[in-house]
Amino acid sequence: MLKNILITGGAGFIGSNIALKLVSQGRTVTVLDNLTKQIHGEQPEESQLYCSIKDKVHFIRGSVTDRVVFKKALEGQEAVIHLAAETGTGQSMYEIEKYCSTNIGGTALLLDILANKKTSVKKVIVAESRAIYGEGKYECNDCGIVYPLARTEKDMLAGDFRVKCPNCNKPVKLVATDEESKLHPTSVYGITKQMQGQLVHCVCQALGIASVSFRYQNVYGPGQSLKNPYTGILSIFSNSLRQNHDINIFEDGTESRDFVYIDDVADATILAIDNRKCSGLAFNVGTGTSVDVVTVANKLKEFYKSNSQIKVSGNFRLGDIRHNFADITLAKKVLGYEPKYNFERGLAKFCDWVLTQPVEQDNYKKSLDEMKKKGLYK
């Protein structure tokens, strides 16, 4: 069993949950995290996520773009779970340098240190994202399996949000996206996550270090930041609904996602640490089912007994995908992964937790205004 584990971004939502599970297994965990304000708020050392791991892990505050700090964090580590990244598809489309320098640059720095300094690292696990698939896998009645291109602004302005065959331009049927599907991200965020995975697998193979990547679907659950208006629609909607603010549903409301509960994500990731059969592989982590956005909003409204109006606006963000759900066959077969939470059970636990939290300032409209100024929100 690998005992000493470094988690970059380990004070974040996913990282902190993994850290606590590893500590409960008797492993020694080091966390490298910069406690960004967007996730942890104005007083990050008082944030719930940070406090949940404080005094339970060896904590180093710093950036994955700082070579000195990263070298220090790697000392004595046997495995690295590399989660540190800027997240959110919309914001990535106008903060390009920030996303590339952190996501790609931080990963490159990690690998550069491993290539040029003797370490005890035997395995690197990196978080990719479902965003690397772009629109994912579909079936066309005439053309068979296809991987559609990003939808056009012209079609969406006309209210046509359907995904179409890249060959014959006819509407197509969504099917589960497996790990062999075409990688063609439609956002800067997705591009950076694809690069992270490719860099890790390429360099680690050359160095004789085991590598694993995870393509997480839409992760949610207790502890998810309620302060961040750029990512996590369950948190964004919850914050607005608790203040009886109206909910603006993009497109026609039938766009869908594979929502996966945080415990399942943490368990899947930990399964890879000591598994010797998974080196060089990428795994989807989801539930294998999808839920549309209108259903999500209505379930949350009912749970919070909110007076908010749910409005299907027809607005859209350039770079957003229409649908996606994961084929999780490979993770089941190789890792023994089996999601324990369906959406209804996970949502209830999430909402119960939300009601114990203070209501945060609703900055979602501000985030949309930023995109609108950049011409990315219509």
E strands, 128-167, are 138-140, 144-146
Coil, strand, or helix at residue 96? Answer: helix
- Of the candidates 190, 197, 199, 32, which has an alpha carbon nearest to the alpha carbon of residue 109? 199
Structure tokens belonging to residue 64: 């994955």
Catalytic member of 50, 99, 133, 189: 189
Q: What one-character-per-residue DSSP string does 304-336 give?
A: HT----EEE----BTT--S---B--HHIIIII-
Helix-then-strand count for the chain, H and E:
15, 16
Which residue blocks in the chain are alpha helix, DSSP H? 13-24, 37-40, 48-53, 67-74, 89-92, 96-99, 105-116, 153-157, 188-207, 233-242, 262-271, 293-304, 329-330, 343-354, 364-373
Active site annotation includes 50: no
Rg, C-alpha atoms of the chain? 20
Structure tokens belonging to residue 214: 């995870």
> What span, in angstroms and rounded, lies between the C-alpha atoms of 121 and 8?
14
Contact 270, 18 (CB under 8 A): yes
For residue 374, count other CB atoms closer than 10 A to its CB: 14
Residues that are catalytic: 189
